[in-house]
Amino acid sequence: MKRTARNRLYALASACVLSVMATVAWSQRPSITWLGVLDGGWSWADGVSADGSVVIGRADNAAGQIRAFRWANGVMQDLGTLGGGWSVSGGVSADGRVVVGWAENAAMQGRAFRWVNGVMQDLGTLGGGSSYAWDVSADGSVVIGGSQNVAGQIRAFRWVNGVMQDLGTLGGGSSVADGISADGRVVVGWADNAAGQIRAFRWVNGVMQDLGTLGGNFSEARGVSANGAIVVGRAENAAGRLRAFRWANGVMQDLGTLGGDWSEAYGVSADGAVVVGIATNAAGQSRAFRWTQAGGMEDLNIAYASLLTDGLVLLSANAISPNGRYIVGRGYNAATDRVEAYLLDTVPEPASLMALGVGLAGLLGLRRRKP
C-alpha cells in the first residue's frame, strides 16, 4: 500500500474513533431527574437499584397519608399498606425488585414488610407488637431492622427464610439494625451499652462490635460497604457536635462538614470509596454531600451547579448505588415549589472512553512504524 493511501486510512480511522468518543461523552453527561409525588405535597428517596433504574422512597398521597413508593420508567407506584393507612420504605435489592420497609396493619401496628411483585409480606416481630425494616441484602433475601420483643424492648433483627433473629445489644436494652452487606452476613446499626450510651455496632457471625465514637458519647451506623469492612454513619465528637464518619480497620474517621457545625453519613458505595449524606454549610443550610478520599467532602449543589438552575437545591443525599454513580435523596424543586425526591446521575468517566483513548493512541502509533 502506498504511503499516501495508508495515511488516508489512518486519518479516517482516527476520525471514526474520535467521533465515537465524542458521541459517548455527549450521551453520558450528568443529569438530574425529579421524581414527582403521589398526588400529595412532598416526596423523598431512600434507596436506588444498582443500575439507577429503580428508586424507592416515601411520599404523601392526596389524603395526606405517607406511603412507600417504587419509581421506575418515570412512574411512581404506591406500594400500599398492610391494611392500615400508611407505609414507609427502607431499602431495595440490587435489581430493584424487592423493597423493604414498614407499614401499618389493620390493628394499627407498624410492621416490617418485604414487597415483591406487588405483594407486601408482613415479616412479623420478635414477640412484641411492632417492627420495621431498614435494609435488604443485594439479592433481596435477607432483611434487617428493629422489632419489639416480648418485653417491649426494641431489638435489631436479621430476617432470613421467615425466621427473625434477635441480634442482641452491647450490654443495654435496645438496638436497631440500619445497614447490611451485599451478601447479608454483616449488619450495622446502633445499640445501647451498659452505661446507657448509644453506640454504632458491626455484627458478624453472632458477635456485636462497638465501633466507638469521635470523642463523644454517641454514634450510629447507617451504611456498610458490600463486603462489610467499611461502615459509615454519624458520631459525636469531643465538642458534642455530630459528624459524619467512615470506619475502617478499627479506626473511625471524621469526614468533616461543609463549613457548618454538623454532618451525617447515610450511604456508601460498594467499595467503600464514596460516602453520601447531609451536612451544614457556613450559612447553616443543610446540603447534600459526597465524600471521597481524594476530594474530601463536597457540596453536590456546587459540584453539579449546571444542573441546578432557577432555585433547585439538593438538601440531602440518602443513598448511593453500589458503583457510586447514582445518588438519591430529597431536594427543593423550585418548578413545583415542593420538597421532592431526586435521582442524580453523576456519570463518572466511563471505562469505555479510556479504552477508546488507548485504542486511538495505538492506532495513531502505527504511523510511526516503518512502512
Domain ranges across the chain? 1-28+350-371, 31-349
Query: Distance of CA 142 to CAs 100, 169, 222, 320, Å?
Result: 10, 20, 17, 19
Average pLDDT on 48-61 reads 98
121 near 105, Cβ under 8 Å?
A: no
Handedness of CA 203, 204, 209, 213 (dihedral sign): negative
> Quick one: CA torsion of 241, 245, 247, 252, rounded to 10 degrees?
-30
What's the pLDDT at 28? 78
C-alpha cell at position 71: 419509581
Q: Is the predicted pLDDT of residue 46 greater than 70, yes or no? A: yes
Handedness of CA 334, 339, 340, 345 (dihedral sign): positive
> Which of 137-141, 192-196, 302-306, 365-369 bottoms out in mean pLDDT, i.e. has the lowest?
365-369
What's the pLDDT at 367? 35
What's the pLDDT at 364? 39
Rounded Cα–Cα distance for residues 233 and 301 (Å): 21
C-alpha cell at position 140: 433481596
pLDDT tens string 129-186 = 999 999 999 999 999 999 999 999 999 999 999 999 999 999 999 999 999 999 999 9
Rounded Cα–Cα distance for residues 170 and 280 (Å): 31
Average pLDDT on 214-221 reads 98
Q: Which of 71, 28, 53 minimizes the C-alpha distance to 341?
A: 71
Q: How much of the chain, in percent, has pLDDT values that exceed 90?
A: 86
The CB density around residue 131, as the number of other CB atoms within 10 Å, is: 27
What's the pLDDT at 178? 98
What's the pLDDT at 141? 98
Confidence of residue 311 (pLDDT cuts 50, 70, 90): very high
Name the average pLDDT for the chain: 90
Confidence of residue 19 (pLDDT cuts 50, 70, 90): very low
Q: What are the DSSP calls for 136-161, one per residue? A: E-TTS-EEEEEEEETTS-EEEEEEET
pLDDT tens string 274-310 = 999 999 999 999 999 999 999 999 999 999 999 999 9
Q: Is the predicted pLDDT of residue 81 greater than 80, yes or no? A: yes
| Domain covering 31-349, topology | Neuraminidase (2.120.10)
